[in-house]
A and B are shown apart, each in its own frame.
Chain A
Amino acid sequence: MLDWTVVIPAFLTASVEWVEAFTIVLAVSLTIGWRAAVGAALAALAVLAAMTAATGGALSLGLSVSWLQFVIGIFLLLFGVRWLAKAIARQAGLKAMHDEAEEFEQTRAQLSRGDWFAGWTIAFKGVLLEGLEVWLIVVALGVNGRWASSAGAAIVALVVVAAAGLFVRAPLARVPENVIKFAVGAMIVSFGTFWTVESIAGATAWPGGDWSLLALVAFYALGGMLLAAILRRPVSLEKLS
């Protein structure tokens, strides 16, 4: 049985990270060829799969649920707070939007000498580092028997991004990355807040029980939008003229 409160954030997080990983693999493939670049990506995905299996197994070894919630809640806060803050800063114009086309050109420039091993390493490290955040979310949201939902969503996202990438054969620059990061940031911070408070203050800490999670998502999403509006840099008169 799929848990949609897990599927949606896991799918969105994984999509954003896979798009970034695809950009790196695409840039590398133009230097060392498709086979080698995809090989490096598959090697990194194998490492991530092994990490997910190992962590999932370790977390199922009878640890107390409240400790598990506390530790995972902290990681979710570390992750979600960062994503939400970045999305707000970008929305407010305090930070430049992430540009896949620019990332693509930067990676190509790094590989201008055509070094095969350097190219393979960049593709491997790129997929591994982007995938680490996917691993974190899959593991964090997969506890309490939700592995199928979290891991399944990440795999579906990988297939969707790879299919879209093969179809377009260019950096996937049109993905509304900041909107997705905003939404995912709000969801992940909500999970982190819910779990850390529940583990420290007890099951009755949230007045509406599990329904409080929805209220938290709304609070962080609306609060984030309000913050972006407040922090928005005014356009100078010189720029307008």
Chain B
Amino acid sequence: MRAFAKTLVGDGWNVSVVTAVILVEAVLAFAGAADAAAFVIPPLTLAGVAWLARH
């Protein structure tokens, strides 16, 4: 079961990065700055990828 879950979602660090990205998307949308998401989210996601690559 643990192997199943890890295969589907990855480890805790992976989940944390994606959760942070989704939270920022939600904050931008609720703050009325949804148009900025297209420019903010890709660099943020890449920063998360860089962080994961180093850990």
A→B interface (CB under 8 Å) = 74-75, 77-79, 81-82, 84-86, 88-89, 92, 94, 125, 129, 132-133, 136, 189, 193, 196-197, 200-202, 204-207, 212, 216, 219-220, 223-224, 227, 231
Q: CB < 8 Å: which of A77, A202, A207 contacts B34?
A: A202
Q: CB < 8 Å: which of A77, A94, A129, A207 contacts B45?
A: A77
Q: CB < 8 Å: which of B3, B26, B50 contacts A231?
A: B50
Q: Which residues of B contact A216 (CB under 8 A)?
A: 42
Shortest beta-carbon distance from A206 to chain B in Å: 5
- The residue on B at minimum CB distance from A219 is B42
In B10-40, the 8 Å CB interface with A consists of: 10, 14-15, 17-18, 21-22, 25-26, 28-29, 34-35, 37-38
In the A-B complex, list the 9 residue pairs whose CB atoms are closest, starting with the nearest: A201-B34, A85-B52, A88-B53, A89-B53, A85-B53, A82-B10, A223-B46, A200-B29, A77-B18
- Decide: A78 and B9 in contact? CB cutoff 8 A: yes
Q: CB < 8 Å: which of B4, B10, B35, B45 contacts A189?
A: B45
- Decide: A129 and B4 in contact? CB cutoff 8 A: yes
Give the number of residues in B that approach A within 8 Å (Cβ atoms). 30
- Decide: B25 and A227 in contact? CB cutoff 8 A: no
Complexed CA–CA distance, A157 and B33 (Å):
42
Complexed CA–CA distance, A86 and B54 (Å):
9
Given contacts A77-B18, A220-B49, A231-B50, 20 further A-B contacts (CB under 8 A): A74-B18, A74-B22, A75-B8, A77-B22, A78-B15, A78-B18, A81-B17, A81-B48, A82-B10, A82-B14, A85-B53, A88-B50, A129-B4, A196-B41, A200-B26, A219-B42, A223-B49, A224-B46, A227-B46, A227-B49
Shortest beta-carbon distance from B33 to chain A in Å: 9
A-B contact pairs, 20 of them (CB 8 A): A75-B9, A77-B21, A78-B8, A81-B10, A81-B14, A88-B49, A129-B3, A129-B4, A196-B22, A200-B26, A200-B37, A201-B28, A201-B29, A205-B38, A206-B38, A207-B38, A220-B45, A224-B46, A227-B50, A227-B53
